Structure 1
């Protein structure tokens, strides 16, 4: 794992002492924030960003940004952290652990895929004690589990976790490639979408509202973003769709759906409050109707194909049935 430089400071592994850690070869290319999360087990992501922003973390003696890609041999200064105060005091609830164990839809030596429930964050932080990754680590103590990607808290479906560093780096490289990973979602959009496939090629910009809440909008200043929407069937005047995305921007499907004039049903951030109220009454829909259903990719340079599926959540099936 990580190797500490001979003790110029406190002993390695003691989070309450300053330590300097040399980046090992198998962590080359890892972002600084993710490296720190691995070193400061149990520290919330918000604390890690605070330490980096304040200059308490140093790389080779200088300040660095959270997204900096580390190189083998870099020396990272890690400040003292009182994890007993900053991190989680209580383990994840047993009910959550049991639910996640039941939600594992695929596992092999390299990967674990979870059918994440709606309402569960991918990771802790920002006032959230336990996300999916913290709960999985509690479920599998001693296993080096790392999130490959994230899902919005309100979105259900496939969340992939790497059990080996090699799988993590290969999957993250595939995510940066056009078409490296095929992503398919299921969504209920408000209103009657036209037949055929509607593509939205609209750049997305992430802004912060007061209180630190992220808000995404279509803007020429944003990053290129491409989504494809296709109606599978119409239910109760709404459109049940397959969505394929070629980029993975924050809130991409939700903002692109609104841009089309057909917001995602149950979306309390980018949706239609009145239509959401009607759907609660008619169909019992009390959550965002967006589900990450399929991921397709290949590891080992294309030699090991994977096709992962997560079935639609029962409450979404029930809502569709009620819409007729």
Structure 2
């Protein structure tokens, strides 16, 4: 599968799925979904290119961290966005699969991480999280897809949707995500960047139809590590 490395300014080329209610795009790493206090380019700056004849631009139905690439669902109008928001708010309704390259890795081939999470600080502007027994319940299933060069390629399935859940869960389990500058050994602005990719979404949007399943191709910034863990052999 050929990675999609088109720049954010060519957002139309990153479209993975489109119907009357929803769009799914392959968000590039390094692009924030929503404007923040520090300003700078965000996905919002490019959404007019995805109107496809509708009077208003679509809006993101959930969040991905700035440095996380991959599948992002957008509601095409207000009613569609409300339906999507309801789906994403219901724990376990939307199927999410992430690919991560982690330092070291678990000894087993599959398992779960059940660690409550809470904010590190009372500052409402802070998104940094920590494992905390008194925090919100947080559950992640994981499966090893490959190993090599001191790294492990994991498929991560979050059952809950806490902020930074996958990053904190992996770090707290002893195998931080490669390139993570907050919870791992990565440096801000360094290469490689965070090796976390929203590989697939399963959206049960239509009651009498099968879920919409969308996959995003492996991103270029993770390709070398994935190949070292057997990605090519895995197809």
Q: TM-score, normalised by structure 2?
A: 0.84
Whole-Å separation in 2 of the counterparts to 1:160 and 1:139: 12
Are 2:142 and 1:229 equivalent residues in the alignment? yes
Are 2:205 and 1:292 equivalent residues in the alignment? no
Q: Which residue of structure 2 aligns with residue 170 of structure 1?
A: 83
Shift of 1:242: 0.4
Shift of 1:170: 1.9
Q: Which residue of structure 1 aligns with residue 233 of structure 2?
A: none
- Correspondence 1:158-237 to 2 at 5 A: 158-208=71-121, 212-237=125-150
Q: Which residue of structure 2 aligns with residue 104 of structure 1?
A: 15
Shift of 1:249: 0.8
Q: Which residue of structure 2 aligns with residue 22 of structure 1?
A: none
Q: Which residue of structure 1 aligns with residue 3 of structure 2?
A: none
Distance 1:97 1:309, change over 3 A: same
Is contact 2:104-2:152 (8 Å) kept? yes
Q: Which residue of structure 2 aligns with residue 239 of structure 1?
A: 152
Q: For residues 166-215 of structure 1, what are the alpha-carbon distances to aligned partners after superposition, in whole Å with 9 as ceiling and x for unaligned?
A: 32222222222232111000001111322232211111112348894421
Is contact 1:123-1:134 (8 Å) kept? no
Q: Which residue of structure 1 aligns with residue 35 of structure 2?
A: 124
Whole-Å separation in 2 of the counterparts to 1:112 and 1:316: 24
**Greater Cα offset, 314-323 or 112-121:** 314-323
Are 2:191 and 1:313 equivalent residues in the alignment? no
Q: For residues 240-294 of structure 1, what are the alpha-carbon distances to aligned partners after superposition, in whole Å with 9 as ceiling and x for unaligned?
A: 1100010111100000001111000111110025xx7xxx8xxxx5110000010
Q: Which residue of structure 2 aligns with residue 261 of structure 1?
A: 174
Is contact 1:133-1:145 (8 Å) kept? no
Q: Which residue of structure 2 aligns with residue 44 of structure 1?
A: none
Q: Which residue of structure 2 aligns with residue 270 of structure 1?
A: 183
Q: Secondary structure at the match of 2:23?
A: strand
Is contact 1:156-1:290 (8 Å) kept? yes
Whole-Å separation in 1 of the counterparts to 2:127 and 2:92: 27
Q: Which residue of structure 1 aligns with residue 161 of structure 2?
A: 248
Q: For residues 117-144 of structure 1, what are the alpha-carbon distances to aligned partners after superposition, in whole Å with 9 as ceiling and x for unaligned?
A: 1110011121223311332136548324
Q: Which residue of structure 2 aligns with residue 48 of structure 1?
A: none
More helix by share: 1
**Greater Cα offset, 103-112 or 210-219:** 210-219
Q: Secondary structure at the match of 1:242?
A: strand
Aligned-residue CA RMSD in angstroms?
2.4
Whole-Å separation in 2 of the counterparts to 1:126 and 1:105: 30
Give the length in aligned residue pairs.
221
